[in-house]
Amino acid sequence: MSDEQSCQRPLQKCIKTTEESVPEKMDEKTSMTTTDASTFTLIAKFGKERIQLNDLSPHTTIEEVKLILQERTRVLCKRQKLVGLVANEGGAKGVHDALPIMHLKSNAKLKLTSANRTTHQFILMGTPEESIFVDPDQLDELPDVIEDFDLDFNAGSEEWLRHVANGENLKKFTADTLIHMMNPPRDGKPLLVLDLDHTLLDFSSRSLQRDAVSVQVGQGAAKTMKRPHMDEFLTHMYHYYDLVVWSQTSWRWLETKLTELGMIGTAYKFCFVLDKTSMFTVTTTDKHNQTRTHHVKPLQIIWSKFSRWSAANTVHLDDLSRNFALNMSSGLKCTPFYRKKNPRDAELLAIGKYLVELAQAGIRFDQIDFGKWKDVALGECSLLDTLTQEDGSNGQSGQ
């Protein structure tokens, strides 16, 4: 049985067409939940589309709503995420497939459009089946994604880098990892590897839910999630760099973020995206002799498959410096973005200015101290002043 067939059920009962479909009695709790409404209207913001479901019976379930949305959008029920709907009991977690929509929570954001009609607004997130990315979970074979190193030296030290770079498990993992191309690399372009969460986006659920039920449903959510100047930054960087996304999240959630935010097929293009299955978990001993376990993003995976890129022409932009552990010379750390703390954040403008100067300088990137990028962007020193004495390779070229 196909995914579509598995969730098909009669939909006629979802739509109230006669007075007989209204229950004769409602208990006090139900009456409070529905605010005495006899019909419901649900409005879904799906990308740039506004989908309105009118004249729904109070007894219509969330599953039946998903079935209607599946017919309208070609997004399978199992791939749908309804952001902004909150249950009367249990909050957002209480919204399950069997829940009747009359038990959706009434609050200040709920709109009464008439004496007998209640309207809820929300964001529909998901990708139509024909536009779905290749999901690694559906592949017959996947490489082992966990790599534990029993180390007694500090992450980033010369000894540690040499140990990891020469490890047979890393070499095998790199060889076995598949990369699915979205757009071909362009000749002569260096590489910019981009993290998403708190580097380009603040994807907090509270912000999503707050904006999902606003009058301009969905419009505020995208603005909330994106770091200020994100689209401008990526569009500008695309002129100088090939772009790759590497996010510490699952493939399906990564796909949802990129598509819902309009980051696919725009003025900038990504060569490919990598998710958490391409990350290692490494165990190291820190300077306080405490054992630490964390994820890292080994750029060797990219360099070994694309000889055009190496430590000499790759920048990895991330808010977590620990993600640079295998490729210290390539990491450029930004300030984590939390819109609630700094809604007027302008750091991407400064980073963009720095990266343009770097791309035009004709210098090996691994000879530059990226830790001084702010000084260069502010004009306190020149890019040449940040040259290091080492060649920066550390066996990281990947060639």
pLDDT digits (tens, 9 = 90+) for 293-329: 767 888 989 998 999 999 999 999 999 888 888 888 9
* Overall pTM > 0.75: no
Mean pLDDT of 332-340: 91
Share of the chain above pLDDT 90, in %: 32
Band of residue 82 on the pLDDT scale cut at 50, 70, 90: confident
Which comes out higher in pLDDT, residue 371 or 12?
371
Residue 71 pLDDT:
87
Residue 178 pLDDT:
78
Band of residue 106 on the pLDDT scale cut at 50, 70, 90: low
Would you say 345 and 198 are in contact if contact means Cβ atoms under 8 Å apart? no
Q: How far is CA 384 from CA 354, 376, 380, in A?
A: 12, 9, 12
> Coil, helix or strand for 3?
helix
User: Residue 108 pLDDT > 70, yes or no?
Assistant: no
Contacting residues for 100 by C-beta, under 8 A, at least 6 apart? 58, 59, 60, 61
38 vs 30: CA distance, rounded Å: 12
pLDDT digits (tens, 9 = 90+) for 383-399: 999 998 654 444 444 43
Band of residue 235 on the pLDDT scale cut at 50, 70, 90: very high
Superfamily classification of domain 133-386: HAD superfamily/HAD-like (3.40.50.1000)
Mean pLDDT of the chain: 75
**Angle in degrees, 0-180, between the axes of helices 230-238 and 347-360, rounded to the nearest 10:** 10
168 vs 194: CA distance, rounded Å: 27
Lowest mean pLDDT among 42-46, 219-223, 309-313, 346-350: 219-223
Mean pLDDT of 350-373: 96
Would you say 272 and 182 are in contact if contact means Cβ atoms under 8 Å apart? yes
Domain segments of the chain: what residues? 3-129, 133-386
Q: Tell me the range of 21-25, 37-41, 245-249 where mean pLDDT is highest.
A: 245-249
Level-2 CATH architecture, domain 3-129: Roll (3.10)
- In SS3 terms, 144-166 reads as CCCCCCCCCCCCCCHHHHHHHHC
215 vs 105: CA distance, rounded Å: 17
Band of residue 130 on the pLDDT scale cut at 50, 70, 90: low
pLDDT digits (tens, 9 = 90+) for 134-175: 444 444 443 333 333 333 345 455 555 555 555 666 677 677
318 vs 76: CA distance, rounded Å: 33
Mean pLDDT of 170-194: 87
Closest CA to 96 of 55, 64, 131, 70: 64
